[in-house]
Amino acid sequence: MESLLATPVQPLEVMIGKLAPFVIVGMIQTALILGVARILFGVPMQGGWGGLILGTALFIIGSLGLGFLISTLTRTQLQAMQLSVFYLLPSILLSGFMFPFRGMPEWAQWLGTAIPVTHFLRIVRGALLKGQSFADMVPSLLALAIFVCVVAALALARYRTTLD
């Protein structure tokens, strides 16, 4: 880390350099998982590929950016893992992944709407099961884009150029 801090790179360049390989790996994993889902399980895959690809990229970038932000907020790996639980549990419980979204109380739906996983699940279900067009996915894509911008801005603002 000291060597990295001694170079004249900007925080945005550090963030891009750290996240880019994982975005590529995530996109490859997504393609493999979708292929296996189609071949082994017969998932219908109705269409909406442009929205699915963009939504997947935004979700991966946002999730990795959130990890980058968490790393700027914590001093140890244990603290980072504990803080990530505060994002992970609501994401699982309030996104519609485990329980039907419309079956939750209204306050839970409001909270769930603020979680990026909710919008990513809408994009995936829309593309794979409903055959939604790109235009149908725009609200969820916009929500993911806003999440990426907010997380990136916060991470860059919190990034320190010293080890203290």
What's the rounded Cα separation, in Å, for the pair 134 and 47?
Answer: 10
What pLDDT shows up at residue 133?
A: 92
- 87 touches 65 (CB < 8 A): no
17-31 confidence digits (pLDDT tens): 989 999 999 999 999
DSSP string, the chain: -HHHHHS---HHHHHHHHHHHHHHHHHHHHHHHHHHHHHHH-----S-HHHHHHHHHHHHHHHHHHHHHHHHH-SSHHHHHHHHHHHHHHHHHHSSSSS-GGGS-HHHHHHHHTSHHHHHHHHHHIIIII---HHHHHHHHHHHHHHHHHHHHHHHHH--SS--
The encoded tokens of residue 162 equal 């010293």
Verdict on whether the full-model pTM lies above 0.85 = yes
The phi and psi torsions of 115 (rounded to 5 degrees) equal -95, 130
Ranges of the chain whose pLDDT falls below 50: none
What pLDDT shows up at residue 11?
A: 81
What pLDDT shows up at residue 163?
A: 58
| Ramachandran area for residue 48 (φ above 0: left; ψ -120 to 50: alpha; else beta) | left
What pLDDT shows up at residue 70?
A: 93
107-132 confidence digits (pLDDT tens): 999 999 999 999 999 999 999 989 89
What pLDDT shows up at residue 48?
A: 84
- 155 touches 14 (CB < 8 A): no
